[in-house]
């Protein structure tokens, strides 16, 4: 079907692969800035795109603890790469956000909030684990008692084109966290890439609207069966597991276990894990003034609980050792987060494993704490 006809919400349709370009064009013509996975500077990043040719066709990420390598493969898949070091939080909760400016006017100071002039974003190729990560950050920034206006402004205008995973990295453990590899909710469009076409589930009116003028056909039972088979194949690829049935109690019960010292001997406290994590939200505020002292800017920047100064309070530091900082991160992520938000802060994407220079694997460390703590 083509022309003015658009599919209903919750329908599943089939598009030829070239037709995806028309969908992207419709989004761009509606004022969205398209952000998607692309290869730049020898690695996979999330950045502005405009054409389907900019998607990482023929590339794969080989990941293991402490290692991520971009490889050329014989594939025509547009979304064959697993997640890279970037996550969508860098556009919803940017690494640097201007909060306000202050100007001396001769008699005093004039304070002005900094406008957020970012365009509405269309996120292309969002994996299920990252959809869950966005939902977790929603809990932090907009669903609680305090609403962050900068995050809310970007989040409310975002269009999400998700994709079911057709391959898994060795570091993935989303099945343990019940966050993937299949997309279930929170999207405007959800794609499944088959060799010759895309099978697309319509998740919202906005998702339906961007298919105006695009050739599409209703998905058949055969198409839906192929989608299920692909996702089941991806699930079988995921070997890494993290048992959650005894969390957060396990972490609280082993808070003083000597194994934390063993982990600390490997940890560099470099903060890589928190920077690549799609749910970590620690930040600090910095003030900068010009040389005359008449103009000042206040900026929010990403921070990390692994940084020594982050836990420096009046009178001393509450976490002066690497052991205490790593324990805080892991215990909060897999333990206290459940008490605070009703769900784990981990979505099983495996980024912290791949981008840890020492290859520290939280699934293995939790399993070790479980076996040692039971003795």
Q: Quote the radius of gyration of the chain (alpha carbons, Å).
A: 22
Regarding whether 328 and 258 lie in a shared domain, the answer is yes
* 230 and 254 share one domain: no
- Tell me whether residue 186 is in a domain: yes
Token readout for 111 is 């304070």
* Same domain (yes/no): 168, 302: no
* Same domain assignment for residues 126 and 274: no
Q: What is the rounded end-to-end Cα distance, in angstroms, of the chain?
A: 64
Identify whether 164 is part of a domain: yes
Neighbours of 261 (CB within 10 A): 12
Contacts of 280 (CB under 8 A, 6+ apart): 274, 304, 345
Question: Are 21 and 51 found together in one domain?
Answer: yes
Count other Cβ atoms within 10 Å, centred on residue 359: 15
Residue at a domain's end among 204, 237, 270: 237
3-state secondary structure of 325: helix
Give CA–CA dist 48/56, Å, rounded. Answer: 13
How far apart, in whole angstroms, are the C-alpha atoms of residue 283 and residue 336?
19
Q: Are 255 and 220 in a shared domain? A: no
Q: Which residue has the tokens 């692994």?
A: 306
| Domain end marker among 210, 237, 264 | 237
Write the pLDDT tens digit of every residue in 165-224.
999 999 999 999 999 999 999 999 999 999 999 999 999 999 999 999 999 999 999 999
- Residues with Cβ < 8 Å from 143, sequence gap 6 or more? none
Identify whether 128 is part of a domain.
yes
Residue 239 has a CB neighbour count (10 Å cut-off) of 10
Question: Same domain for 212 and 334?
Answer: no
Phi, psi of 300 (to 5 degrees): -95, 130
Task: Give the pLDDT confidence score for residue 3 in this predicted structure.
Answer: 44
Question: Based on the structure, what is the number of domains in the chain?
Answer: 2
Cα torsion for 43, 47, 50, 56, to the nearest 10°? 30
Q: At what angle do helices 128-141 and 149-156 cross, to 10 degrees?
A: 140
- Chain centroid offset of residue 87 CA: 4
Are 321 and 228 contained in the same domain? Answer: no
Closest C-alpha among 126, 167, 119 to residue 37: 126
In this structure, the number of other CB atoms found within 10 A of the CB of residue 163 comes to 23
Is 281 a domain residue?
yes
Residue given tokens 């419709």 in the structure block: 26
Same domain, 146 and 207: yes
Same-domain pairing of 147 and 265: no
Residues 312-329: tens digit of each pLDDT: 888 888 899 999 999 999
Task: Name the domain boundary from 237, 259, 281.
Answer: 237
- Residue 242 is assigned to a structural domain of this protein: no
Does 333 fall in a domain?
yes
**Host H or E run for residue 208:** helix 205-209
Q: What is the pLDDT along the chain (375 residues), one digit of tens a residue?
A: 554 589 999 999 999 999 999 999 999 999 999 999 999 988 899 999 999 999 999 999 999 999 999 999 999 999 999 999 999 999 999 999 999 999 988 788 898 888 888 999 999 999 999 999 999 999 999 998 889 999 999 999 999 999 999 999 999 999 999 999 999 999 999 999 999 999 999 999 999 999 999 999 999 999 999 999 999 999 999 999 999 999 999 999 999 999 999 999 999 999 999 999 999 999 999 999 888 888 899 999 999 999 999 988 888 888 999 999 999 999 999 999 999 999 999 999 999 999 999 999 999 999 999 998 755
Range of the domain at 167: 12-95+106-237
Distance in angstroms (rounded) separating the CA atoms of residues 161 and 321: 42
DSSP structural state of residue 8:
P
Q: Do 267 and 306 fall within a single domain?
A: yes
Domain membership of residue 209 (yes or no) is yes
Model-level pTM?
0.94
Distance CA 345, CA 134 (A): 11
Q: Residue 33 domain-assigned?
A: yes
- Say yes or no: 355 and 211 in one domain: no
């Amino acid at each position: 079907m083509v022309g003015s006809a658009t599919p209903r919400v919750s329908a599943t349709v089939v598009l030829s692969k070239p037709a995806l370009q028309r969908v992207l064009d419709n989004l761009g013509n509606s004022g969205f800035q398209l952000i998607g996975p692309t290869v730049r500077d020898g690695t996979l990043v999330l950045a502005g795109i405009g054409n389907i040719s900019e998607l990482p066709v023929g590339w794969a990420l080989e990941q293991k603890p402490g290692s991520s390598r971009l490889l050329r493969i014989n594939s025509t898949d547009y979304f064959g790469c697993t997640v890279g070091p970037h996550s969508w939080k860098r556009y919803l909760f940017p690494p640097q956000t201007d909060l306000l400016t202050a100007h001396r006017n001769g008699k005093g100071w004039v304070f002005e909030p900094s406008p957020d002039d970012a365009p509405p974003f269309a996120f292309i190729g969002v994996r299920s684990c990252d959809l869950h990560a966005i939902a977790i950050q929603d809990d932090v920034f907009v669903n609680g008692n305090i609403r962050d206006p900068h995050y809310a402004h970007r989040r409310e205008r975002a269009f999400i084109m998700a994709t079911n995973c057709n391959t898994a990295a060795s570091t993935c453990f989303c099945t343990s966290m019940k966050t993937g590899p299949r997309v279930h909710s929170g999207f405007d469009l959800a794609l499944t890439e088959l060799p010759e076409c895309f099978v697309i589930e319509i998740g919202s009116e906005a998702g339906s609207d961007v298919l105006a003028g695009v050739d599409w056909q209703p998905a058949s039972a055969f198409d839906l069966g192929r989608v299920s088979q692909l996702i089941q194949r991806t699930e079988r690829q995921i070997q890494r597991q993290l048992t959650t049935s005894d969390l957060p109690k396990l972490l609280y019960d082993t808070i003083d276990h000597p194994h934390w010292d063993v982990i600390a001997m490997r940890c560099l406290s470099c903060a890589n894990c928190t920077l690549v994590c799609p749910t970590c939200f620690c930040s600090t505020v910095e003030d900068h003034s010009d040389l005359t002292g008449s103009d000042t800017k206040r900026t929010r920047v990403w921070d990390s609980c692994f940084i020594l100064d982050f836990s420096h309070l009046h009178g001393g530091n509450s976490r002066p050792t690497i052991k205490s900082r790593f324990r805080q991160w892991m215990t909060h992520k897999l333990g206290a987060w459940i008490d605070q938000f009703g769900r784990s802060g981990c979505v099983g994407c495996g980024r912290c494993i791949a981008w840890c220079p020492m290859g520290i694997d939280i699934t293995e460390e939790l399993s070790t704490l479980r076996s040692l703590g039971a003795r």
